[in-house]
A and B are shown apart, each in its own frame.
Chain A
């Protein structure tokens, strides 16, 4: 058990900023993001890879930060919800969620926003069924998903128009 305190040097880019930290190899990526570099926008709902709240983008692909060790991101580029847009300049996906009421408590939202942002890159003009499929790995207890689906379809429309 003492061996786990051996620290490893990690260098990773998060939302365009390079972070260098000495961390324990067992530290989860979700804990690193939330508590080590204090980007608390990424949420943890289950710590076992089912709910999707902790999803972030690694080199553009959605990954579950609760299922990865932070040291596995050595040299990679991570984008969290904080990297998508700001309060004054929401990203098109964030804006669509605002307009379509795609969130209630907001706890599942960061993981859904990152997942959807990547999804719309690969499928800019999805059908409702494809949207439901794309977010089927993200649990939401508040919305019944309908306004989330509406928000994704709206975001696709916004992106096409711009």
Chain B
């Protein structure tokens, strides 16, 4: 493909409105006569509700209504399972338990909603929350995922025999015989704890009911507006065409904004209809810490079998995954972990068993990385440990095991998160490794710089490691491309957008085909009134799945343009060029017609549209991959640590990413920078501290540390492009990539920096205190 715009550093179409305060976010929707909701949330993590008294709140001046589960009656039933049925793996167990709009009898995590107050202002609604009286019977709490699965544990769901939410085993080859023939067996245990996505914008919903036309409009901070529209219509007994869901500008998503259905998402539209008034609910930051889904809690028991020269014979990984109080999102996250625990290595024998545990904590659903960082953490920590035990350089042992370029497509024989076969479509892994080593100056650092630092008494370490990211999964997305009478191009797609630059990268894809400026392509995303088929923005799939649908639709429109122009200009199609919004006959510049004139001809007011043809220069296309492309990358870091304070300074950070065809390097680099920042948070700053009662101890930005501008190093991004053979554009996803390898890389770098401490890191996230503790223990051990 001759690329004019794809791959160029184009600045973003959406910026001017975002930069001047003109872009609309959900909380910017102010409607006449709008009422405001505030949620009464449980303080207990596990308790029975003995009684609820909302009478004082109802009587409070300015309060419009107060609803409890009882008032909601038969309409108060659980949300739908988001991913169903469970995968068809032999002997799989999956117990589906989903959240309700309002809790009636038993609280299963702190922050669950017991009552909702609707008032003339948010201030009054919050005043009235103080007047609600609840009597609770506190129950013993399930806070720890391992204890949750012990036989005497209290039960999160009383109707189940245990807290087991799911159990699944996947195998490849025969691990036991690999083990029997191994020279070295390594066993370790790793713990990974929870963090939160902390998008800068909290969640929010505004719902408006037009009783006369029986139409519902909902503005929602969702990554998946179309499924929300379909689900709301079903729940509320409305025709899908009467429900419009708009996901306007969203202030960051990172996964948790795609949890269908949050309690509030079921509740607020219902209230708007019930009260026949527009209702707004905006989450505050404290609520976000309790009510917005979280991720990352897992415990792994791993065993790996190696030959003496470092060849991997097999891996066996048993892990427990924390799903919190409910499991609406099915097995996506633990399946992702399973798919990534072999990393980018050629591993013939694999057994992985996971158990998912219910706990009295906030619901777990995918968050940027979505189970992948866990898998990479496990395999890459094991590779480091093996390198030490076998006395092989840590880069060399990786090099010996990376999948070779001629082995693609590489089939694993297990299923991935989308229940599709786990197949790595393409890649050139060793080249990416070499590029990174060169960029970071690995040899020179090890041989010259590090010894010099050490002689000076400074502890400076280097880390280098690879990772894979399965991306761009199905089922499908679609796009409609239209040449408007003005000659500008209108494009609509169902995916929502949360800052990924879709208004620009998608415009590049379309402009590439139609010979117009990127600024002449106007994209509408996430509004069911404009495009009403689609699934959503998740799994690093926007650029792959929606991008290829755009490409297909634009290609169809291009054909229509050429066909019509050929007739009008009386020239064969092959001699026509599309450029600058015009169709020209090559070599005869005066023989041309503008897209605007062509659009008018294609939609005549008189005459006839020929039989078998459609009016207009428009096409709709869909793209649905059998399985998703797998991206690859290598990160390297050089960092100094002060062993007294455990404060770190990152001196270099290098990323080489191969995500196939690059649409826009500027946007791609931004995605990687942001991903790495989250990854560093997951490695050394961000941890949700729950106590033994499953009470969150750090539910504010004062106590939960996000990475700031002074902690972030400058990141150098390099690219290699191995086109994916799975789609026309050759793209692979990259949205989550930056975050995935960072905790593992950080651990390796710290072990190297603190070389004289004999340190082995087996947990994440760390923080200076914790690292100090581990280092001291290991030094004295």
- A interface list, Cβ under 8 A from B: 1-2, 4, 24, 26-27, 34-35, 38-48, 50-51, 53, 80-82, 84-87, 90, 94, 97-99, 101, 103-110, 113, 131-133, 135-136, 138-149
| A147 CB contact (under 8 Å) in B19, B24, B670, B706 | B670
- B interface list, Cβ under 8 A from A: 11-12, 14-25, 27-28, 30, 61, 123, 127, 197-202, 249-252, 254, 284-285, 498-501, 666-667, 669-678, 700-702, 706-710, 712, 714-715, 738
Residues in B with CB closer than 8 Å to A113 are 19
A104 touches B499 (CB 8 A): yes
CB distance from B97 to the nearest CB of A (A): 30
A50 touches B701 (CB 8 A): yes
CB distance from A5 to the nearest CB of B (A): 8
| A98 CB contact (under 8 Å) in B16, B22, B25, B501 | B16
| A104 CB contact (under 8 Å) in B16, B127, B501 | B501
- New contact pairs (19) apart from A98-B16, A98-B19, A139-B708, CB-CB < 8 Å: A2-B61, A4-B127, A35-B30, A40-B24, A41-B21, A43-B251, A48-B701, A81-B21, A104-B674, A105-B200, A106-B14, A109-B19, A132-B709, A141-B198, A141-B254, A141-B677, A141-B678, A144-B670, A146-B673
List, sorted by A's number, 30 A–B pairs whose CB atoms are closer than 8 Å.
Answer: A1-B127, A4-B127, A34-B28, A40-B24, A40-B25, A41-B22, A45-B200, A45-B251, A50-B700, A81-B19, A86-B20, A94-B19, A103-B19, A103-B499, A105-B199, A105-B201, A105-B249, A106-B499, A110-B21, A132-B712, A136-B709, A140-B200, A141-B199, A142-B252, A142-B499, A142-B670, A143-B677, A145-B677, A145-B708, A149-B709
| A40 CB contact (under 8 Å) in B16, B21, B127, B670 | B21
With contact pairs A90-B19, A143-B673 given, residues A46 and B700 touching in the complex (Cβ less than 8 Å) = yes
Residues in A with CB closer than 8 Å to B27 are 34, 40, 44
CB distance from B577 to the nearest CB of A (A): 30
Bound complex: CA A90 to CA B707 (Å)? 29
Looking at chain A's contact residues, is the secondary structure mostly helix, strand, loop, or mixed?
loop
Question: Total number of A-B contacts with CB less than 8 angstroms?
Answer: 183
Residues in A with CB closer than 8 Å to B17 are 87
Residues in B with CB closer than 8 Å to A45 are 200-202, 251, 285
| B21 CB contact (under 8 Å) in A82, A108, A138, A145 | A82
| A145 CB contact (under 8 Å) in B14, B24, B254, B712 | B712
- Which A-chain residue is minimally distant from B671 (CB atoms)? A104
Bound complex: CA A45 to CA B202 (Å)? 7
Bound complex: CA A101 to CA B23 (Å)? 17
Bound complex: CA A86 to CA B21 (Å)? 9
Residues in B with CB closer than 8 Å to A135 are 709
With contact pairs A50-B700, A106-B19 given, residues A139 and B712 touching in the complex (Cβ less than 8 Å) = no
| B674 CB contact (under 8 Å) in A48, A87, A99, A144 | A144
Q: Which 3 A-B pairs have the closest CB atoms?
A: A41-B21, A105-B499, A107-B251
Bound complex: CA A140 to CA B12 (Å)? 18
| A108 CB contact (under 8 Å) in B20, B200, B249, B675 | B200
With contact pairs A81-B20, A98-B11 given, residues A141 and B285 touching in the complex (Cβ less than 8 Å) = no
CB distance from B740 to the nearest CB of A (A): 14
A107 touches B285 (CB 8 A): no
Bound complex: CA A24 to CA B121 (Å)? 12
| A87 CB contact (under 8 Å) in B16, B123, B198, B252 | B16
Best-surrounded residue of A39, A42, A44, A97 (most CB of chain B within 10 A): A44
Bound complex: CA A9 to CA B279 (Å)? 28
CB distance from B519 to the nearest CB of A (A): 12
CB distance from A82 to the nearest CB of B (A): 4
Residues in B with CB closer than 8 Å to A99 are 11
| A46 CB contact (under 8 Å) in B61, B673, B701 | B701
| B252 CB contact (under 8 Å) in A105, A133, A138 | A105
CB distance from A123 to the nearest CB of B (A): 15
CB distance from A94 to the nearest CB of B (A): 4
B20 touches A107 (CB 8 A): no
Residues in A with CB closer than 8 Å to B249 are 105-106
Bound complex: CA A51 to CA B143 (Å)? 30
A105 touches B19 (CB 8 A): no
B706 touches A141 (CB 8 A): yes
Residues in A with CB closer than 8 Å to B712 are 132, 144-146
CB distance from A125 to the nearest CB of B (A): 19
Bound complex: CA A104 to CA B398 (Å)? 35
A142 touches B709 (CB 8 A): no
A101 touches B20 (CB 8 A): no
| A84 CB contact (under 8 Å) in B20, B123, B254, B701 | B20
A107 touches B200 (CB 8 A): yes
